[in-house]
Chains A and B, each alone.
Chain A
Amino acid sequence: MKGGLISRTAVGWQLLVVLLSVLPHMEWLPLWVPALVVSTAGARLMIHSGRWSFPHWSVKTALVIAACMGLILSFNQTAGPETMVALLVVGQALKLLEIYHRRDALVVLFVTLFVTATTFLFNETVWMAAYVFLVVTLVLAAMNSIQQSDHNNLYADHLRNAVRLLFPAIPFMLVLFFLFPRLEPFWSVTLDTGQAQTGLSDELSPGDVSKLAQSSALAFRASFSGPVPPPEQRYWRMLVLSEFDGRRWTRPALQVRRQLRTEKLYPLVEGQNYEVIMEASGRPWLPALDQPMKAEAGFFMTPVRTLRASQAVDRRLQYRLQSVPLYRLQPLLTAQEEQRYLQLPARGNSDSRELARQLVADSGGDTSRVIRQLMELFNREFIYTLEPGRLGRDSVDQFLFEAKQGYCEHFASATVFVLRSAGIPARVVTGYQGGEWNPYEGYLQVRQYDAHAWVEYWTPGSGWQRLDPTAAVAPERIRSSAQEYFRAYENRFAGAVSRLGAGWLRDLAQRYDAFNYAWHRWVLNYEGQQADLLRDWLGGGEQWRQVLAWIVPSAMVFGGLAWYLMRPRRASPRDPLERVLQRLQQRLSVLGNERLPAESLSMWLRRSADDWPRQKGMLLKLALLDDRLRYAEQADPEQRGEMIHLSRQLLRELPRGKRHES
């Protein structure tokens, strides 16, 4: 169906929706693509207004070739969703130059719908969802406009029709959204949104964590089914770093990691259940509250009991965990393992080694006394700051004896160094500490500035134990979130931290975040809750209940729609006189005195009067009054009342059914 030519209004709609559908892609499309769209839309506008004529085929061919070359150059022959969307956008732009028929217009609109839907691959915020909904509405209006005849070219009409079509589809969509099973991907796809992700890396050198502290980006959110752990227990482990080269802490080499045996965990109390929604980090490591009991299907537990996903977290990820706050971890170490956690570079940082020897001598070899003394030293003489200054070669020595100020990674690194020098197996753990409680939705939000590094040391029998040197220097940092700590610490750390403002602004930000959280939990990551939710709502998860849960609301929606569309609709005038006259007209037409289209009311009344000898007087009087009401120079207001009265009386007297000829 090639269909007829489309109206000018329809062309206007086309241009509008094409531009609106490309708009959200502007930020990542190579600049020439939006430029092409704008220029072809502009050219079409010129054609539309009659200033230009349709381009010659050679111009179109040249444009197609140029656009293809551009795509090949810009996307480097990679076949990802970006290339697909760019290809569609270019096609859309070129097709704009040759919309003549309904079919052409439909092609453009279908591609527009597709391009609009792909927006969600790159942006999943509520605002974008609202925007896409708006564009879909406009596309429907555009589709309606190409079906309209030329004389009905009111944009508002088309829009109203689109809304009428969209409205019943919303409940249908909701039902299907909540019931439709989420399938596994057919083939694996990678999506590079081109945005650099922030997060912890797998190595730690001085300044790494403090760099993160400048970012207020969200790292993850967590909600607890039971009581929420107190701030000093909110240690989110991500990585365990045991290798030190004098400056950097890293994980053991891959082949070494493979040979490690998984550490044994003996929980001492009940585990607590919680759920984490993690933001894309571009890396596979997942935060888990100290200490996770076991990994959910699809994730791995590394030998050092940190969690990782099978691939880098490129999209928001949701998972459930059970963690235990009190535990005994790996009470026994083999000699080889113990050696690994005592490993230090052969040379360097000699002052620190000397400090360790001294501490051991002072405490008589008691591990806990060594630690206590070291912490007291930190507490006495050290400053916790985001701007510790640069550290040179012997970084531990410089930190311990010269700078005496630093961020968590400096303290953690120095502590492990000293402990190892003192013969105590120790390692650096990185992750997040704390989190801000959002009271509106009941979850913890952990931001990048909550990134933290701390220490685990090992004693025979007790196994690995957590030690946070930062707690010794700045205990408030552990009890509150990093944000609150630094806020109290003046506005020295402007930038990220203070961006969230204070007072009502902060409250508003929290509410907004709560809203976003609900959006993520119930819309973007709606998947796992499905089974539980359905069981709760439907009283069971059987197939027939699901089918029923889908059919019943849909039937209600579409039944309502059918009734709404097909209901008998007679215009019912506001004016009581008009209304009663209409009823009289209906009654008489049933009785065989139908009013002809060309007949005036009084003519019809007079004609009918002959058939009703008893009511003749009333009918004639009504006709007279009507004439007078319409044509007399001064209408008497009481006359209307009289007419209503007469009509009512007629309605009472005239038979209700069909007249029986006697």
Chain B
Amino acid sequence: MATELRRYLQTKIRQWTLARQRRAPSHTLTQNRIFILPTKAGCAWLLLLLMLLVMAINYENNLIYAVTFLLLGVFLTAIFHTYANLAGIEVKALPSRPCFAGRQAEFELELQRHSTRCFEQLHLRLESSEETQVVDLLNDRQRVRLYCPAPRRGWLSPGGVKLETCYPLGLFRAWSWLNLEIKTLVYPELLVTPLPSSLQEPSAKGCDRMSTRSGDDDFAGLERFQAGMSPRQVDWKSYARGRGLHAKHFAGHQDPDLWLDLDAMGGEALERRLSRLAAWVEALSVREVRFGLRLGSFSLAPAMGESHRSRSLAALALYGLEDRE
């Protein structure tokens, strides 16, 4: 009952504070944002004081009165210390790295202090995660990585960031919710299937050569044979004529790149197809093979390299979701 009530109140406070803030890449913790309430230990402390007070009154013992008041003073002092352990910290969102769905998304924050005070035992947590990170801010800047599960592809916003501390006595909990502008791109979940008969069998489904559709017959001319060309392309006739080794150049072979095409992947569910494509993009990128990507009306020209990979994966991640973002 009590825990339910507490949870309900916490949720309300969180929603209320997050709604009051504008989304910004960095926030400084000020009194508008910091909440502070006694912990269970703090309530027990008050109970202890009450017992001491009763003892002081009953035994008419002035020294026990003094201890009671001293501990009450400590209790009040702890409010300030706990509050000061959060106040003034600037939290900045750093650019985040994309991740694959089903894994943990990583968000990097930078905590910055503007005085030489030490901020100790800060617990950081994302709204959509239960996991906390404990940080001691002893230098001017410190980076923290927070993780939260990324269940689906698309843009992932982990909600607010919570900073919490019970330092130095554990009698009070000060916390703050920050509406930080953090989001990360979640790529489709990787569904590893063998590359469609890989590069040797380019005519497998979904992995298409231009030539299969434009035909082998489109003879476009001859070019000098170079190592690595298929022997089938050799123009044996002209070789026999003593003109040297030439390869027949067909129109289909002008662009020898792979095309990954969503529509050519059969009737599987869209997400499965996207996942499979994502796995292929990964595999091809590792092998450093040029490939192009075609998703319905959207297409990426064949290329290779890191930026091509991330553009392809981003396209897969956002396919069909753009209008929602």
Contact = CB atoms under 8 A, between A and B. Distances in A.
B71 A148 contact: no
B80 A562 contact: yes
A26 interface: no
Contacts of B72: 169, 172-173, 176
B69 A172 contact: yes
Contacts of B77: 165-166, 168-169, 172, 558, 561
A177 B69 contact: yes
A639 interface: no
A79 interface: no
A569 B113 CA distance: 10
A124 interface: yes
B183 interface: no
B40 A124 contact: no
A657 interface: no
A114 B52 contact: yes
A39 interface: no
B168 A166 contact: no
B142 to A, nearest CB: 11
A106 B73 contact: no
A566 B30 CA distance: 11
A166 B69 CA distance: 11
B48 A189 contact: no
A37 B5 CA distance: 41
Contact of B59 (A121, A176, A180, A570): A121
A117 B52 contact: yes
Interface stretch (A138-146, A220-228, A345-353, A415-423): A138-146
Nearest to A171: B73
A316 to B, nearest CB: 10
Q: Kindly name the residue among A136, A165, A170, A525 whose own CB sees the greatest number of chain B CB atoms within 10 A.
A: A165
Interface string B36-72: 0001110011001001101101111111111111111
A7 to B, nearest CB: 12
Interface in A89-116: 102-103, 106, 110, 113-114, 116
Contacts, number: 158
Contacts of A133: 70
A147 interface: yes
Contacts of B321: none
Interface in A517-568: 523-527, 558, 561-562, 565-568
A140 to B, nearest CB: 7
Given A147-B167, A569-B116, A571-B116, A170 B70 contact: yes
B80 A114 contact: no
A39 B40 CA distance: 31
Interface string A445-471: 000000000000000000000000000
Nearest to B169: A143
Contacts of B116: 569-571
Given A147-B166, A148-B121, A597-B141, A187 B58 contact: yes
B168 A165 contact: yes
A298 interface: no
Interface string B108-150: 0000001111001100000000000010100001000000000
B40 A1 contact: yes
Nearest to A188: B58
B76 A169 contact: yes
A1 to B, nearest CB: 6
Interface in A122-173: 124, 129, 132-133, 136, 140, 143-144, 146-149, 152, 161, 164-166, 168-170, 172-173
Interface string B58-102: 111111111111111110111011001001100000000000000
A183 B57 contact: yes
A148 B138 CA distance: 13
A185 B169 contact: no
A182 B41 contact: no
A297 to B, nearest CB: 16
B59 A81 contact: yes
A2 to B, nearest CB: 10
Contact of A149 (B51, B64, B78, B121): B121
A184 B56 CA distance: 10
Contacts of A146: 170
A114 B70 contact: no
A260 interface: no
Interface residues of B, number: 50
A288 B324 CA distance: 94
- Give chain B's interface secondary structure class: helix
A357 B59 CA distance: 57
B61 A120 contact: yes
Contact of A168 (B73, B87, B168): B73
A437 B59 CA distance: 31
A480 interface: no
Contacts of A106: 41, 44, 170
A180 to B, nearest CB: 7
A169 B74 contact: yes
B168 A144 contact: yes
A315 interface: yes
B76 A117 contact: no
A83 interface: no
A340 B114 CA distance: 90
Interface centre among B58, B63, B168 (most CB of A within 10 A): B63
A489 interface: no
Nearest to A167: B77
B55 to A, nearest CB: 7
Given A147-B121, A161-B168, A173-B70, A185 B60 contact: yes
Contacts of B136: 149, 152
A109 B250 CA distance: 86
A54 to B, nearest CB: 24
Nearest to A184: B57
Contacts of B45: 110
A129 B62 CA distance: 11
Interface string A63-102: 0000000000000000001000000000000000000001
A117 B67 contact: yes
Nearest to A572: B116
A147 B76 contact: no
A147 B59 contact: no
Contacts of B166: 147
A57 interface: no
B87 A177 contact: no
A165 B71 CA distance: 10
A602 interface: no
A9 interface: no
Candidate in B41, B72, B77 with the most chain A CB atoms within 10 angstroms: B77
B60 A182 contact: yes
Contacts of B54: 186
Contact of B58 (A132, A161, A168, A189): A189
Contacts of A170: 70, 73
A569 B59 CA distance: 47
A526 B62 contact: yes
B80 A120 contact: no
A568 B76 contact: no
Given A81-B59, A146-B170, A177-B62, 12 more contacts: A102-B170, A124-B61, A144-B168, A152-B136, A161-B168, A169-B74, A172-B76, A173-B70, A185-B57, A527-B60, A569-B117, A571-B116
Interface of A: 1, 3, 81, 102-103, 106, 110, 113-114, 116-118, 120-121, 124, 129, 132-133, 136, 140, 143-144, 146-149, 152, 161, 164-166, 168-170, 172-173, 176-177, 180, 182-187, 189, 191, 315, 523-527, 558, 561-562, 565-571, 597
30 contacts: A1-B39, A3-B170, A103-B41, A110-B45, A114-B48, A120-B63, A120-B67, A121-B61, A129-B63, A132-B67, A133-B70, A140-B169, A144-B168, A147-B170, A148-B120, A165-B78, A166-B77, A169-B71, A173-B69, A177-B66, A180-B69, A182-B60, A185-B59, A189-B58, A191-B59, A523-B66, A558-B80, A562-B80, A565-B84, A569-B117
Listed from nearest, the 9 A-B pairs whose CB atoms lie closest are A169-B73, A172-B73, A565-B84, A120-B63, A176-B69, A173-B69, A569-B115, A173-B70, A117-B67
